[in-house]
Chain A
């Protein structure tokens, strides 16, 4: 059973702090990893894609991937109240059986 695990939270951080969201996955064949942000009642919005070990930065967001540890993380610098949402981690292995597997999401609350 392929699984993606996330701490459901809520994760509460003060405005301006760094929020750290973590995700582990069970399928060693996973090669593609994504972070989605989902506001309550809205659809998931793609934040980051990462395919190689290491860090990938995009504005205030940094995704980190460690395939040996089967671990993906998302750092949000200078967190804003507007970042308050549920963050979904997804992993996929490509090919005919490599559908994306979503974690249950981590709820982030940024306090002003």
Chain B
């Protein structure tokens, strides 16, 4: 069983809808991530939170809005998405990165998003 839980597993939304993806981790990690993955492509980093503060936004369009309410929870609010935003959205957590090393990412099971 994964210790990073994502809900929902599947989501279909129209271009005018507002929806949210949720992620919860119980690993005591203080870094949390959102990745987007298209078919046959590697995961693409979207956002990084470190100690509940947004530390990295990889130039993601504003129709994606992240939120980190506490050290265990991470949300991704979606609004006015486009069909090309359809993808697998992955949440991950890790220990906070050290000066010269990365801690491994632990991924949730993902949310399969379809925008119609």
Residue of B nearest to A49 (CB): B104
Q: Chain A at the B interface: mostly helix, strand, loop or mixed?
A: loop
A94 touches B42 (CB 8 A): no
**B59 CB–A CB distance under 8 Å:** no
Report chain B residues within 8 Å CB of A99.
45, 48, 56, 102
Report chain A residues within 8 Å CB of B103.
32
Q: List B54-107 residues whose CB lies under 8 Å from chain A.
A: 55-56, 88, 90, 97-107
**A88 CB–B CB distance under 8 Å:** yes
Report chain B residues within 8 Å CB of A36.
107
Given the complex of chains A and B, what is the CA–CA distance between A100 and B101 in angstroms?
Answer: 10
Residue of B nearest to A45 (CB): B107
A104 touches B41 (CB 8 A): yes
Residue of A nearest to B90 (CB): A43
B102 touches A94 (CB 8 A): yes
Contact A46:B102 (CB < 8 A) given known A88-B42, A94-B97, A102-B43:
no
Q: Within the complex, which residue of A42, A46, A95, A103 is in contact with B42, where a contact is CB–CB below 8 Å?
A: A103
Interface string of A87-101 (1 = CB under 8 A from B): 010101111101110
Q: What is A's interface to B at a CB cutoff of 8 Å?
A: 31-32, 34, 36, 41-46, 49, 51, 88, 90, 92-96, 98-100, 102-105
Q: What is B's interface to A at a CB cutoff of 8 Å?
A: 2, 41-43, 45, 48, 55-56, 88, 90, 97-110, 112
Q: A95-B99, A98-B102, A102-B43 are in contact. List 18 more A-B contacts (CB 8 A).
A: A31-B100, A34-B102, A36-B107, A41-B112, A43-B90, A43-B107, A44-B43, A44-B90, A44-B105, A44-B107, A88-B42, A94-B98, A94-B100, A94-B101, A95-B98, A95-B100, A98-B97, A99-B56
